Amino acid sequence: MLAQRLVTGLFFILGLLGLLWLDASVGAVAIGNWSLPPGLFLAILGGLVVALGAFELTAVAAAAGIRTDARLAAMASVVVMLATWLSSSLPEDFDATVPLTVIAITLVTCLLRFSHGRQVQDVFAATAVVLLCVVYLGMLSGFLLLIGADISIWMIGGVALVVKACDMGAYFTGRAIGRHKLIPWLSPGKTWEGLIGGMATSMLAAFILDAALGFPLAWWWVLIMGAILALVGQAGDLTMSLFKRGAGLKDSSSLLPGLGGVMDVIDSLLLAAPVAWWMLRLSIGCET
């Protein structure tokens, strides 16, 4: 199992680095008098990942007895992700309203779709699942793309490094010295020792990244950012565990050898993305 995780993880790291380099090289793509924000190739990959994640989330909902429209959830989630990303290059009067308008249209579409044929049963639950996918997958993943558009393409990789460093640190620390369960009713494998080890690993990763960039931020602030992203990332992992436990599932799917499903890989990044965007933007604002 560990060998499969390492091989699959290495494959994704290399693929992400390749896309980061490609997007950093291409930059903003001009379309007439308007330019797309940086991150076009990551947005394409993000669309695929978000669509797969939506199918997994709706499958988890189905296992919990809530049936909805997986294709509608996937399409709406991808559109919201792209709208959030594109908002970076829109005029200030429209930048926030575009993704919000897409969410509103999705709500109306769900009500019409699930009440078709004068059906009233399960309309509330089916609509709620689609909107969960839209916000949880579409909007939060859009914040990752905003980090690339508003700050730096390479910073997407930096955020992923810091968040995933916690996952790795928690895993190995927990296996080595983990004794006290963190939340046994939700995630029996997580321990307090693992959480502390994961936070320390994230803080170290953030410090090394800041050093590699020539210390653009104060070292103490970078350590705080690493600790906060570690905690929020673990909260994201526990959020997905909450959904899966409620449906009686261990993994969101078996798509990725050794890792489970797409949601099992990106869950910690989703909640961390908006926190990282705000902290980085505030950091840059304070420095300037």
Residue 64: CB atoms within 10 Å? 17
User: What confidence category does residue 126 fall into, taking pLDDT thresholds of 50, 70 and 90?
Assistant: very high
User: What confidence category does residue 287 fall into, taking pLDDT thresholds of 50, 70 and 90?
Assistant: low
Q: What is the pLDDT of residue 39?
A: 93
Top-ranked range on mean pLDDT: pick from 1-10, 26-35, 86-95, 111-120: 111-120
Q: What are phi and psi of 26, to 5 degrees?
A: -80, -40
Average pLDDT over residues 30-37: 84
Q: What is the pLDDT of residue 86?
A: 93
Average pLDDT over residues 50-55: 97
Rounded Cα distance between 34 and 133, Å, is: 30
Rounded Cα distance between 200 and 226, Å, is: 8
Q: Please give the single-letter amino acid code of residue 246.
A: G
DSSP β-bridge partners for residue 31: 34
Q: What angle do CA 213, 230, 48 make, to 5 degrees?
A: 85
Rounded Cα distance between 86 and 43, Å, is: 10
Q: What are phi and psi of 283, to 5 degrees?
A: -65, -45
Are 228 and 275 contacting, i.e. CB atoms less than 8 angstroms apart?
A: yes
In order of 45, 69, 143, 231, 284, the CA distances from 272 in angstroms are: 19, 27, 9, 9, 18
Tell me which residue has tokens 């009067």. Answer: 93
Whole-model pTM? 0.91
Rounded Cα distance between 141 and 270, Å, is: 6
Q: Residue 4: CA atoms inside 13 Å, Cβ hemisphere, count?
A: 8
User: What confidence category does residue 288 fall into, taking pLDDT thresholds of 50, 70 and 90?
Assistant: very low
Q: What is the pLDDT of residue 259?
A: 77
Q: What is the pLDDT of residue 242?
A: 93
**Using one digit for the tens of pLDDT, what is the confidence trace for 241-256?**
999 998 999 888 888 8
**Using one digit for the tens of pLDDT, what is the confidence trace for 267-284?**
999 999 999 999 998 887
User: What confidence category does residue 285 fall into, taking pLDDT thresholds of 50, 70 and 90?
Assistant: low
Q: What is the pLDDT of residue 275?
A: 97
Average pLDDT over residues 49-73: 96
Mean pLDDT of the chain: 91
CB contact set of 18 (below 8 Å; sequence gap of 6+): none
User: What confidence category does residue 50 fall into, taking pLDDT thresholds of 50, 70 and 90?
Assistant: very high
Say if residue 201's pLDDT is above 80. Answer: yes
